[in-house]
Amino acid sequence: MAGSAVLALAVPVAGFSQSVEVDDVLAKQQKRTTLAQESQQRIDAVVDKTNSLEDQYKAVLKEIEGLQVYNKLLERQIERQELQKQQLVESIDGVETINRQIVPIMTKMIASLEQFIELDTPFLLEERRNRVAGLKETLERQDVTVAEKFRKVTEAYQIENDFGRTIETYTDTLNIDGAERQVSFLRVGRVALVYQSANGDVSGVWNQKNRTWEALGNEYKNDIKKGLRIAGKQIAPELLMLPVDAPEAN
């Protein structure tokens, strides 16, 4: 009976030893698994950090590339601005040169205009002479730009040019037979310049060739009166019989 008891006690001891070994193995395996998981987590963290740095690096590269493109654009803009600046400086220098050249030209233009008016048909002489005098005064003023001076000169030329294709009437005084009389003038372009007294008893025409006023007979009386009304927009235009200078032979 005693031998059976010892044997029975030996079996549980062997089973306990194997159980301890299994637990130890499992614990070590669990530890290795835990270590492996921690290592994988560290690796994943490193990979994530590496990927983040790589993404940041790529983003910085793209930003640098964009800045390089922008810098090249700015360089081209600066080059164009420098070119425009140089052109502006040259233009300013050119303007000064033009100003020095244009003033003598305008002086000659005014002198030519003045001479033309004195040799032209003598209509609105005071008005036209005053215009020339105004141009001379403007040309001497320092507070008026060269461009404005030139505009006024060309405007005066345009006014004179328009006289050649318009018809008008105006009232002025004229020395007739040694006496000053108020008469109505009728200008038809530069083709004819005639006058008639208020009562219609005296009429005359300017002879450009002889540069004198000549009296007219009663045959033109009604046509001159009608022409005065047409120029004054009192009646509609119609055919008129007026004395004109014969064209000069070439």
pLDDT digits (tens, 9 = 90+) for 53-93: 888 888 888 888 888 888 888 888 888 888 888 877 777 66
How many other C-beta atoms lie within 10 A of the C-beta of residue 186? 29
The residue with greater pLDDT, 218 or 86, is 218
The predicted structure's pLDDT at residue 210: 92
Structural domain boundaries in the chain: 96-163, 165-250
Q: Is 192 exposed, middle or buried (0-12, 13-18, 19+ CB in 10 A)?
A: buried
d(C-alpha 17, C-alpha 26), whole Å = 14
The predicted structure's pLDDT at residue 68: 86
Average pLDDT on 122-131 reads: 96
Confidence of residue 183 (pLDDT cuts 50, 70, 90): very high
d(C-alpha 171, C-alpha 124), whole Å = 10
Q: How far is CA 246 from CA 106, 166, 190, 208, 224, in A?
A: 34, 20, 13, 10, 19
The residue with greater pLDDT, 155 or 55, is 155
The predicted structure's pLDDT at residue 60: 86
The predicted structure's pLDDT at residue 19: 64
Any idea which of 8-12, 17-21, 122-126, 219-223 has the lowest mean pLDDT? 8-12
Residue 6 has pLDDT above 70, yes or no: no
d(C-alpha 119, C-alpha 201), whole Å = 29
Average pLDDT on 34-59 reads: 82
The residue with greater pLDDT, 142 or 31, is 142
The predicted structure's pLDDT at residue 16: 54
Q: Could you tell me the two tokens for 156?
A: 């005066």
d(C-alpha 165, C-alpha 88), whole Å = 43
The predicted structure's pLDDT at residue 123: 96
Residue 10 has pLDDT above 60, yes or no: no
Average pLDDT on 1-9 reads: 45
The predicted structure's pLDDT at residue 43: 82
The predicted structure's pLDDT at residue 4: 44
3-state secondary structure of 1: coil
Residue 131 has pLDDT above 80, yes or no: yes
d(C-alpha 131, C-alpha 142), whole Å = 19
Q: How far is CA 56 from CA 30, 45, 48, 68, in A?
A: 38, 16, 12, 18
Q: DSSP assignment, residue 120?
A: S
**High-pLDDT (> 70) share of the chain, %:** 88
Pick from 215, 208, 218: nearest CA to 244: 208
The predicted structure's pLDDT at residue 1: 45
Q: DSSP assignment, residue 46?
A: H
The predicted structure's pLDDT at residue 86: 82
User: What is the average pLDDT score of the chain?
Assistant: 85
